[in-house]
Amino acid sequence: GIMSSDCGNGPRNEDHKLFGFDQAVEDDTDRRLRASPEPRPFTSCRIAALATMKMMQHALAGVETGVKRGSKPLEIMGLLLGKVDEQCIIVTDCFALPVEGTESRVVADDETVVKHMVDLSEQLQRTRDERFIGWYHSHPFDVEAYSHCFLSGTDVSTQWSWQSTLTPKWIAIVIDPLRSLAKQRPELGVFQCYPPAYKPHEDLCPDGTMSTDRNAVQIRWGKLYSRYYELRVENFLSTTGNNVLNILSRKHLWMKVLSSSSIMDPENRQRLPSRISVVNTKLDFADDVRRGVSGSDQPSTDRKVSQELANASEVASELAFEHCHGHCSQIMKALLFNQVGNPRQQLFN
C-alpha cells in the first residue's frame, strides 16, 4: 500500500550527495535501458522533503480553491525534477502547472500550458543539472477506508504517452490531499506503466500483493490496475534541513508519541486481516511453486521456493515487529497514565 512506501515515517537524514548530479550515472542508466528494456526498470523513489511539501501545498490549494467556488475540490498538476541512481528515481524538486481539473480528468494539453512547460524547461536547463523526470497530480476525493493514490484510465494513457516518448525514467506521483489532512501525513504513491506487450500475473496488484478479488482490486487500484506498478517511496532531507527540523519539533515530539498509536488506528485494524492474508497467499504461492515444477530443474526450483519463502518471512516479520512495538507503546502509556492517583487500578480492564 501507499504507506508501505512509508512517507509517514518521516524523512531520512542524508548526505548532500543526493542533491548533487552525476551525468555519467544518467548516461549509464540510459544505456542499460536501451540495451535490455525491463518491464519494471525501477524499484524505488526517493523524494526530497521540500518537493513533498510543495506538492502537498499545491494539492491542498486545489482543494481550497474548489471549495471557495462552491464546487468540488480541484485536481492539480505539476512536473517533477530529478535524476536516477541505479534502480532508484530521485526527485529533488517540483513545479506547479497552471492546470485545473475535475475528479475525472486533468490533462495538460492546452496550448498555454504546453508553452509554460517549454519555457520552464528552457529556464531550468540554464540553472539546474537535473531534468524533468515525471509529473504529479492530485485525487481530492472523499476520504475512504483506502487511499485514492492510483492511476485512472486517463492517468495510465497520459503516463505511458510520456514514459514511451520522453524517457523510460518518467514517473507519475498521485497525491490524496484529503486523506493526508485526515491522517496528518503525506499520502502519495509513485507509479510507472508496464510496456503494452508485458502481461503481469493476473492476480498481481500494483503494490506487489496478490489478490483474487477483482472487484476489491478495481475499487482500490482502478480498472487498469494490471497496466502499472507502484514504486517504494522514501523522503530525504539534507543534514542542515534535518537539524532545523529537529530543533522545530523537539518541544512537541513527545506529545505526538503519547497521543498516537498505529495499532489503534481504525484503518490499520481493518487492514490487519488482509495483511495476514497476504502472508498466507505468499506461503501458498511458494508451495505451488514447489509442487508445480517438480519435474523441472531442481536447483532452480529450490531458489524460487526460497525466494517466495523469504518474501513471506519479510512481510510476516514486518507485521510482527509493528504489533510488538505498538503493544509495548500501549503498555507504557497504561503504566504512565492508568496508575496516576490509583495505584491499585488494574493495568487493563
pLDDT at 112: 74
- Strand-pairing partners, residue 101, are 75
Is 80 exceeded by the pLDDT of residue 6?
A: no
Residue type, 40: R
26-48 tens-digit pLDDT: 888 888 888 878 899 999 999 99
Three-class DSSP category at 223 = coil
- Rounded Cα distance, 127 and 115, in Å: 19
Question: CB of 149 within 8 A of CB of 94?
Answer: no
* Whole-angstrom distance, CA of residue 62 vs CA of residue 239: 32
Identify the CA nearest to 314 among candidates 269, 268, 278: 278
pLDDT higher at 130 or 107: 130
Cα 256 → chain centroid:
23
Which pLDDT belongs to residue 264? 75
- Report d(CA 235, CA 221) in Å as an integer: 23
**Region 106-130 average pLDDT:** 79
Handedness of CA 279, 285, 291, 293 (dihedral sign): negative
Higher pLDDT among residues 15 and 198, named by residue = 198
Contact 100, 75 (CB under 8 A): yes
What pLDDT score was predicted for residue 313?
87
pLDDT of residue 254: 64
Q: Please give the average per-residue pLDDT across 280-300, as a whole number.
A: 70
Give the CA angle between residues 159, 164, 166 to the nearest 5°: 90
In the chain, what percentage of residues exceed pLDDT 90? 40
Lowest-confidence range among 10-14, 282-286, 312-316?
10-14
Contact 130, 82 (CB under 8 A): yes
